[in-house]
Amino acid sequence: MNAKMTSTPTSKIVDTTVGDGLRFYGIWLAGIAVLIVLPLIFSSGGSLTSFSLIGIAIVFALSYNILLGQTGLLSFGHAVHYGLGGFAACHMMNAVVSHGWPIPLPFIPLFGGLGGLAFALVIGWVMTKRAGTVFSMISLGIAELVASSSLILRSVFGGESGISTDRTSLPKILGLSFGPQLQVYYLIAFWLVISAIAMYALTRTPLGRISNAVRDNPERVQFIGYDPHVVRYIAFCFAGFFAGVAGGLAAINFEIANAAYLGAIQSGLVLFSTFIGGVAFFFGPILGAILVTYLQLGLTSVTGVWQLYFGIIFIGIVMLSPGGIAGLIMMHRPLVRAGTLPTVIPSYLLAAVPTLALACGVILTIESIARTHSGQGSPINLFGVAFSPASPVTWASAAILVAGGFFVARLSWRRVGEAWDRATTIARDRGYLA
């Protein structure tokens, strides 16, 4: 009896690991397959550029999550490592060309990473002495320091114009010149896969686990033998390295590194992407980077006040879903397992209508105000319907959509809540929810 009692949980653990293991590798292989196939389906120059930027943003956001999600460090200056990685890569590329070193382009992101790492090694020990507000404030200060130095130290950072380079002049490998964007895309995709696997693997090491413990409770960590300062420092160095890799990829992609790489906007953008995606899950920053880069590229062409929408989305996520998109998705896992997901879907569809109406109302309001004030008065195109920003009809429809949408959305989301309660109760009864 006793032997049976102890052997049962062990065998169950083995079973789930094998099942999870298959699914785990399946997800990674599917991701790699998507990266390979993507440019074959969307082969226009514009989409290739977008995919390249998204790939870089994913590496950068994942590196940021080593700090924020894994170790609980809120940095306002992560772009410093990204930027220094970019500059390191540019200088390296130029040095390779002028000295004739036999280093082909695919190895350059590694030097970007070393650039980011070097700065993290130097500055990190002081920065990670404390977590929380102290760390955040120091990161902000360091970011400003480096950003202002970048305009002063002209020989290193090239002043306003930055350091430019030519990726096609490096020694060829496998006959690839890396002139065409398609080749650059695959280079970025390659480094994305390598970096993502490495960063995921890092979460599965003793250091990765202890980083989580430091995030949750740095005081207690000291009483299980660990110095939280050392843990934070090593995590900080890894984050700096992979941010540098992302910066190196950007340098290859744009063939330039300038002060904008390491500025506050870039630091804000990575925080934004990571948080919107969700810091609690490894894949969260990936979703966030995809969405934010896509929005950034898409919104700028349709509206002049795209930052305003970024702000609204950010506030919305922080207030309504602190777990980000990944948190929203993973909330549904117990329901999927318990088989009660279909019971909440109808309420979602019902709530989507007024929510969409509310969103349209907000967009109409913002665009009317923005376009009237900027004096352009160009019509607002919303799902193929043109609205004149100066017309009272537009204002009236905006008001009706906002007020009516808000009122009905409140009622319908309440019904979503009720459906959720029922579904989670069943899931709990069936043992899929703690």
User: Which chain residues interact with another protein by CB under 8 A?
Assistant: 6, 9-10, 17, 201-202, 204-210, 212-213, 215-217, 219-227, 230-231, 234, 238, 280, 434
Beta strands (DSSP E) in 290-349 are none
- By beta-carbon proximity to another protein, the closer residue of 69 and 263 is 69
Least CB distance to another protein at residue 286 (A): 21
- By beta-carbon proximity to another protein, the closer residue of 205 and 300 is 205
**Do 81 and 238 contact (CB within 8 A), yes or no?**
no
Least CB distance to another protein at residue 405 (A): 36
Distant-in-sequence contacts of 414-418, Cβ < 8 A, 24+ apart: 415/347, 415/350, 415/351, 416/344, 416/347, 416/348, 416/350, 416/351, 418/347
**Do 85 and 247 contact (CB within 8 A), yes or no?**
yes
Least CB distance to another protein at residue 274 (A): 17
The type of residue at 368 is S
Least CB distance to another protein at residue 202 (A): 6
Least CB distance to another protein at residue 282 (A): 15
Q: Report which of 341, 309, 319 is spatially closest to residue 426, judged by C-alpha positions.
A: 341
- By beta-carbon proximity to another protein, the closer residue of 173 and 230 is 230
- By beta-carbon proximity to another protein, the closer residue of 216 and 418 is 216
DSSP β-bridge partners for residue 387: 380
| Sign of the alpha-carbon dihedral angle for 256, 258, 262, 263 | negative
| Rounded-to-integer distance, Cα 388 and Cα 157, Å | 46
Least CB distance to another protein at residue 285 (A): 17
Give the DSSP H/E element, type plus range, for residue 3: helix 2-41
- By beta-carbon proximity to another protein, the closer residue of 11 and 98 is 11
**Do 266 and 57 contact (CB within 8 A), yes or no?**
no
- By beta-carbon proximity to another protein, the closer residue of 223 and 383 is 223
Tokens of 7: 């052997």
Least CB distance to another protein at residue 10 (A): 7
- Cα–Cα distances in angstroms (integers) from residue 156 to residues 106, 161, 162, 165, 388, in the given order: 23, 12, 9, 14, 50
- By beta-carbon proximity to another protein, the closer residue of 100 and 206 is 206
The position carrying tokens 């480094």 is 191
| Rounded-to-integer distance, Cα 376 and Cα 18, Å | 61
- By beta-carbon proximity to another protein, the closer residue of 234 and 338 is 234
| Rounded-to-integer distance, Cα 59 and Cα 293, Å | 12
Least CB distance to another protein at residue 208 (A): 7
| Rounded-to-integer distance, Cα 262 and Cα 158, Å | 13
| Rounded-to-integer distance, Cα 403 and Cα 362, Å | 10
